[in-house]
């Protein structure tokens, strides 16, 4: 598996926008086109926001985003990982863990001290296994979520 930046694979934006819309469109209330526009704002390699792609045999099998202030409830929590997605045929292979960990490495290299995320898995799921710590459980946009953090640079 190799990791690349979406900035180097812009042709993948429509596919990722469709993935995100299918998974979270009912929550975000954004159209596929609006989702694609939002994704285009993260076409960076060395600054936030950015997207990391997981690739196997030249096929994109996962994606994750490093971004600013995902939840309006937490204006003081600056850096977030989000949009971790693996299409169904590729799930169960550890891809989500690997792409999430790659984003953590990149955040660390950019000097991020604490990274946050939200998950609908109230037990923390994959992220608890990767060392993320729970902060708070709340209802956000009609979904019960767990907010978690990970200290970096330690």
Distance of alpha carbon 37 from alpha carbon 64, whole angstroms: 16
Rounded Cα gap, residues 154 and 150, in angstroms: 10
Residue 136 in domain: no
CA-nearest of 100, 98, 108 to 151 is: 108
User: In the chain, what are the helix, strand and coil shares in percent, each to the nearest 5?
Assistant: 35, 35, 30
Number of helices and strands in the chain (H, E)? 4, 7
Number of independent structural domains in the chain: 1
Residue 125 inside a domain? The answer is: no
Asked if residue 20 is part of any domain, the answer here is yes
* Residue 59 within a domain: yes
Domain assignment present for 17: yes
DSSP 8-class letter at 70: -
Instruction: Tell me whether residue 76 is in a domain.
Output: yes
Does residue 98 sit within a domain? yes
3-state secondary structure of 138: strand
- In this structure, is residue 68 part of a structural domain? yes
The model's pTM is 0.93
**pLDDT digits 0-9 by tens, 61-91:** 999 999 999 888 899 999 999 999 999 999 9
**CATH no. for residue 25?**
3.40.630.30
pLDDT 10s per residue in the chain (154 long)? 999 999 999 999 999 999 999 999 888 889 999 999 999 999 999 999 999 999 999 999 999 999 999 888 899 999 999 999 999 999 999 999 999 999 999 999 999 999 999 999 999 999 999 999 999 999 988 889 999 999 998 6
Question: What domain range is 106 assigned to?
Answer: 2-112
pLDDT of residue 154: 64
């Amino acid at each position: 598996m190799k990791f690349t930046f979406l900035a180097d694979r812009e042709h993948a934006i429509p596919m990722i926008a469709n993935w995100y819309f299918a998974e979270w469109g009912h929550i975000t209330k954004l159209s596929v086109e609006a989702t694609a526009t939002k994704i285009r704002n993260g076409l960076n390699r060395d600054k936030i926001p950015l997207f990391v792609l997981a690739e196997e045999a030249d096929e994109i099998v996962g994606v994750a985003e490093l971004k600013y202030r995902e939840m309006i409830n937490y204006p003081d929590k600056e850096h977030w990982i989000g949009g971790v997605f693996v299409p169904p045929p590729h799930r169960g292979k550890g891809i989500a863990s690997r792409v999430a960990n790659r984003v953590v490495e990149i955040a660390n290299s950019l000097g991020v001290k604490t990274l946050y995320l939200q998950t609908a898995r109230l037990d923390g799921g994959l992220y608890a296994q990767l060392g993320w710590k729970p902060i708070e459980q709340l209802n956000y946009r009609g979904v019960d979520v767990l907010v978690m953090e990970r200290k970096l640079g330690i």
